[in-house]
A and B are shown apart, each in its own frame.
Chain A
Amino acid sequence: MSADRRPLSPHLQIYKPQLTSVLSISHRITGIALAVGTLLLTWWLLAAAAGPDAFAAVQGFLGSWLGYLILFGFSYALMYHLCAGIRHLFWDAGYGFELETVYKSGWATVIASAVLTVIAWAIAIASA
């Protein structure tokens, strides 16, 4: 049997989106977003090393509406990836594969990441 005639599984759009599959791809998407977001972290650290003017420029950008939008997305992506990552670590250890548990941990990830993001912003608003 030639390699190009081997059976293929159906393409992604055939499947109905489910909590499990949506959370799975979200883990990848937030991972990529966070990787891009490291540019911001590096810029912030380099600016701190460069001096007051450079640092004020970064802080000014982060304080703009676009900066807040990026920071909010960054913080939610981080909290989501962190919570979903912990869920993955439990799977790696061999726990939580029962269908009911998978859905429970899935919703726990959604809720915990939202709560952690709100807590982070509550701290920021309280100290600003």
Chain B
Amino acid sequence: MASKTMRSMRTPLARVRGLGSAKEGFHHWWMQRLTAIALVPLALWFVVSVAGMAGMDHAAAVTWIGSPAVTVLLVLLIAATFWHAQLGVQVVIEDYVHGEGCKLVALIAVKFAAVLLAVAGIVAVLRVSFGG
């Protein structure tokens, strides 16, 4: 009930609406860490590999991308990268974009862009790998 002393920083309206933990925070947090751990070796492998072939021509790139281990690692790199990226950008948008409409549009755009780029990248790798 209304009292002169404030017991909580949450407004009564927020409590009524049930805003707060939707019990999905941990999953977001965990997937961000899981993809981060995966990206440590994957990113280092990718940088060392492409640095070692600096200025490569198309034939060299196709040979490299098409070798089985590289194909697998590139698909994993792309999946982990975009999963991790959209989780991180989501948090930044939620922190800094305050208009509810803008926030929703930005979140949808980021999620769609991440899926689009990830699928495009994976399909490109597989086309090269399978000689399509």
Interface string of A41-78 (1 = CB under 8 A from B): 11001101101100110010001000000000001001
The 8 Å CB contact of B82, one of A38, A63, A78, A79, is A38
Interface string of B100-114 (1 = CB under 8 A from A): 000000000000000
Q: Do A127 and B52 touch (CB < 8 A)?
A: yes
> What interface size band does chain A fall in?
35 or more
Q: Do B47 and A120 touch (CB < 8 A)?
A: yes
Q: How far is the CA of A3 from the CA of B81 in the complex (A)?
A: 39
Interface contacts (Cβ under 8 Å), in number, total 100
Q: Do B124 and A46 touch (CB < 8 A)?
A: yes
Q: Do A55 and B121 touch (CB < 8 A)?
A: no
Q: In the assembled complex, which residues on chain B have CB atoms less than 8 Å from the CB atom of A51?
A: 58
Most A CB contacts (10 A, CB to CB) among B52, B54, B74, B132 go to B54
Task: Tell me what chain A mostly uses at the interface: helix, strand, loop, or mixed.
Answer: helix
Residue A107, interface by CB 8 Å: no
Binding site for A on B (CB under 8 A): 6, 9, 11, 13, 33, 36-37, 39-40, 43-44, 47-48, 51-59, 61-62, 65, 74, 78, 81-82, 85-86, 88-89, 92, 117, 120-121, 123-125, 127-128, 132
Other contacts beyond A42-B121, A45-B120, A89-B33: 20, CB < 8 A? A38-B82, A38-B85, A39-B117, A42-B124, A45-B121, A46-B120, A46-B121, A46-B124, A48-B61, A51-B58, A82-B44, A85-B36, A86-B40, A89-B36, A92-B33, A120-B51, A123-B48, A123-B51, A127-B51, A127-B52
Binding site for B on A (CB under 8 A): 1, 3, 6, 28, 31-32, 34-35, 38-39, 41-42, 45-46, 48-49, 51-52, 55-56, 59, 63, 75, 78-79, 82, 85-86, 88-89, 92, 120-121, 123-125, 127-128
